[in-house]
Structure 1
Amino acid sequence: MKIFYGVQGTGNGHLSRARAMAGALSQYPDIEIEWLFSGRPREHYFDMELFGDFHCRSGLTFHSEAGRVQPLKTLRNVDLLGLRRDIRALDLSGYDLVISDYEPITARAARRQQLPCVGIGHQYAFCHDVPERGGNPFTRAILQQFAPVTTAVGLHWHHFDKPILPPIVDIDHGDLAGGCEQNKVLVYLPFEDQAPLLALFRQFPDFQFHIYASVHEWRDDDNLHTRPLSRDGFRRDLADSDWVVCNAGFELISEALQLGKRIMAKPLSGQMEQLSNAAALEQLGYASIEERIDRRALEFWFDCEPNAARPCYPNVAEALARWISEGCAEPVEMLCHQLWSESDIAPPQLQRQQVA
């Protein structure tokens, strides 16, 4: 089976999910995969050896400053003519299946060439009635039409009685078994101004903050430890941290939940997906949500008793790889029921009735 797999490269969460899927699919020698990533320049990707000689395109992305989406700058930076050219130039003949992790070029090229396209990603969960915040008819239409597919496989922290799968979590079993360093805090806030954050974290000398940001070298300054983006280093620090401070993206929070971390999440203002993620986390009781990370918020969070809620998700990447290798023949509802049955969350009632 030949697969063309497109990945939205604007966030590292999509890349983590793609790495998990690449590893799971590699167990099937009859599957050949060609990868395309869009949303950032090739030189801004890192640790990409797993994907071989991948394609890279500009695609579509949003512009943000100081923790807020900037709609006008986003529109000014959109190259719709270039996007149209890339869609028309992508030749998918000879491929049996197209997979899109919310990547618009592959999804729209597959539609144009009338090829089956499976969408795997968190954004496809919004095809269903899940917790939502900050949306309007226009933003909902963009979210649902950004990367249209023939079969949508949505991922979320809970099924909300809809045919949605658990998250694809890219962690090792050894990470689950490891211990935590007391008062070690992992910080990943790429959309925020870093200088005010560093000044804030200095006010908590009893905590060691390991901050991943767009820097070129390690910097250690008392309780502040700034690190350049690195998959292996980030995974190590995530595994033995006690606390995680991050934006409300999907993949990192999924990994932190699986590892049992205490989470503070600040949604990116003006970004419907992150605002909706915050609403879901509040509803589920999985994280502390803050519109602004300041001294008051951190003091309250550090003093609170840990939340007992910690979901345990099955190996979704492995199940999806098997499903793909079998031609995606099994209904998504069946896969949904199976995977939630393997978690510590009861399967959706609606699907249990359908598959009984």
Structure 2
Amino acid sequence: MRILYAVQATGNGHIARAIELMPFLQKMGKVDVFLSGSNSHLPAALPVVFKSKGLSLFYGNKGGLNYPKMLQSFSPFKIMKEASALPVEKYDLVINDFECITSLACKIKRVNSIGLGHQASFKSRYTPRPEKKDLLGEFILNNYATASDYIGLHFENYDSFIHAPVIKEQVLKANPQNNGHITVYLSHYSDEVLQRYFSKLTSVQFQVFSKKIKQPVEEANIKWMPISNEGFTKSMIDSVGVITGAGFETPAEAMYLQKKLLCLPIKGQYEQLCNAAALQKLGVKILNAISEDFSEMIESWLNQEQQNSFVLQNNTAGLIEKIMEKVDSPFFRPSNLYNELLQEDSTASNVKGLSLPQLSLKY
């Protein structure tokens, strides 16, 4: 079986999940990865065959999105060109982790695909949302990367197609300790902003993971760390608690490890506001932004009771079985319409021969 796995690289969580799933997928057949996005800070130890800047989210320094930079990188013509060139029709299975170019390519070429990941869970109306829904946010979640069928991942099984998060093997096998430090990953805030507040809590040790740091640096009660999947996970396993955004993978792993969790959702990112609503129901402390009393809020959080722990209800191998159940279902039959059109159209053979590296995507 030939598998194309499209991974959105606008966040570290997508890549971390792909790394964990890869050994299981490779048992099913040959896997090619399409990596789309330009602002993940994790090295992608994946069989990347196709790569594109795609559509990326960029963050400012004070907790929000950098819209001017996002608009500057947006090129509809380039996206259409890359989607037309992406050879999705050559694969037996296309798995899409919230990647828009692959989604568009499958539409153009009438190829079935499986939407796999956290964003897929928002296809259900039962998945938690904030009190005030964002119509644009809902539209993006439902239309940015559509697929033929979905396997959603979330903190709880809110619907029949929603399953537990993919927890890294390093976390599953961990023997959690409490070495007294707080593990921090807040990529939407600058190091300067974080240092201002963390330095006030002289009795608390912080291990802060920063995209600007290449080697560990210690400054008083703050240890600045380079972003690393293994390094961050080890820090979290040995921590008293975790301060991070309202993403998905890190909060899930922190709760699985029974670590105290404090989340600050990214301003303007609707998915994180939805996650914050779900996390709040589980007893997680949510702060909308860093304010002048941030240091005091951290002290208060450390003295609060532990939030609910996360119980893993199925494993990664079970998730792969769910994928195969979808593929083997009568509904999910590979569509040969595009290939039939190519054979009938004498001019189409030239189109079929184009590879992504010949166009705008990079190998």
Contact 2:244 2:264 in 1 (8 A): yes
1:149 is aligned to 147
**Comparing 143-152 with 153-162, which one deviates more in the overlay?**
153-162
Contact 2:183 2:241 survives alignment (8 Å): yes
Asked whether the 8 Å contact 2:25–2:320 carries over to 1, the reply is: yes
Whether contact under 8 Å (1:69, 1:269) holds in the other structure is: yes
Deviation at 1:200, TM superposition (A): 1.0
Letter aligned with residue 296 of structure 1: E
**Residue aligned with 1:54, SS:** strand
CA contact (8 A) 1:139 1:272 kept: yes
The structure with more radius of gyration: 2
- Determine which of 68, 77, 99 is the counterpart of 2:73: 77
* Distance in 1 between residues matched to 2:18 and 2:171, nearest whole Å: 18
For 2:325 and 2:159, locate their aligned partners in 1 and report how far apart those are by CA, in whole Å: 26
- Deviation track 1:209-231 (CA, whole Å, cap 9, x = no partner) reads 00001122211112110011112
Hey, which bits of structure 1, 4+ residues long, moved more than 6 A? Answer: none
SS of 2:300 mapped into structure 1: helix
Q: Compare 172-181 and 4-13 and name the one that shifted more.
A: 172-181
For 1:257-336, what aligned pairs fall within 5 Å after superposition?
A: 257-285=255-283, 287-293=284-290, 294-307=294-307, 309-325=308-324, 328-329=327-328
Please state whether the residue corresponding to 2:167 is helix, strand or coil.
Answer: coil
User: In 1, distance between residues paired with 2:195 and 2:41?
Assistant: 25
**Whole-Å Cα distance in 2 between the matches of residues 6 and 53 of structure 1?**
10
User: Is contact 1:101–1:120 with CA below 8 Å preserved after alignment?
Assistant: yes
SS in 1 for 2:4: strand
Deviation at 1:38, TM superposition (A): 0.7
Asked whether the equivalents of residues 264 and 288 of structure 2 are also in contact (C-alpha less than 8 Å), the reply is yes
In the other structure, the counterpart of 2:345 is: none
Q: Relative contact order (alpha carbons < 8 A, sep ≥ 6): 1 or 2 greater?
A: 2
Question: Does the alignment pair 1:204 with 2:186?
Answer: no
Q: Which residue of 1 aligns with 2:337?
A: none
Among 96, 103, 108, the residue aligned to 2:104: 108
How far is the alpha carbon of 1:180 from its aligned partner? 2.2
Read off the aligned partner of 1:141 and give its amino acid letter. Answer: F
Q: How does 1:209-220 map to 2 (within 5 A)?
A: 209-214=206-211, 215-220=213-218
- State the partner residue of 1:68: 64
1:94 and 2:90 correspond: yes
What is the identity, as a one-letter code, of the residue corresponding to 1:56?
K
Aligned residues: 324
What is the distance in 1 between the residues matched to 2:220 and 2:97? 40
Residue identity opposite 2:241 in structure 1 = W
Is the 2:151–2:323 contact (alpha carbons within 8 Å) kept by the matching residues of 1? no
Aligned to 1:167: 165
1:59 and 2:57 matched:
no
User: Secondary structure, in 3 states, of the residue corresponding to 2:254?
Assistant: helix
Partner residue, 2:117: 121
Distance 1:94 1:163, change over 3 A: closer
Equivalences for 1:37-48 in 2 at 5 Å? 37-40=35-38, 46-48=42-44
**Contact 2:240/2:260, CA 8 A, preserved across alignment:** yes
Q: Secondary structure at the match of 1:227?
A: strand
Determine helix, strand or coil for the equivalent of 2:90.
coil
Percentage of matched positions with identical amino acids: 29
TM-score, normalised to structure 2's length? 0.84
Secondary structure of the structure 1 residue equivalent to 2:174? helix
CA separation in 1, counterparts of 2:171 and 2:185?
A: 23
Equivalence for 2:30: 32
Amino acid at match of 2:269: Q
- Bigger mean CA deviation after superposition, 318-327 or 74-83: 318-327
2:175 and 2:237 in contact (8 A); partners too: no
| Alpha-carbon separation, structure 2, partners of 1:228 and 1:11 | 16
Q: 1:135 to 1:173 in 2, by over 3 A?
A: closer
Task: Show the counterpart of 1:137.
Answer: 135
CA distance in 2: counterparts of 1:137 and 1:210, whole angstroms: 37
Moved more, 263-272 or 72-81: 72-81
- Residue deviations 1:110-152 (CA, integer Å, cap 9, x gap): 2211111001111111111221125332321122111110011
- Report the AA paired with residue 185 of structure 2: Y
- In structure 1, the partner of 2:174 is 176
Quick check: 1:67–1:191 contact (8 Å CA) kept in 2? Answer: yes
Offset of residue 82 of structure 1: 1.2
Query: CA 1:16–1:75 in 2, change beyond 3 Å: closer, same or farther?
Result: same
Q: Which runs of 5+ in 1 are unaligned?
A: 333-356
Distance 1:63 1:135, change over 3 A: farther
SS of residue in 1 equivalent to 2:33: strand
Structure-2 separation of matches of 1:282 and 1:121 = 21
SS of 1:120's partner is strand
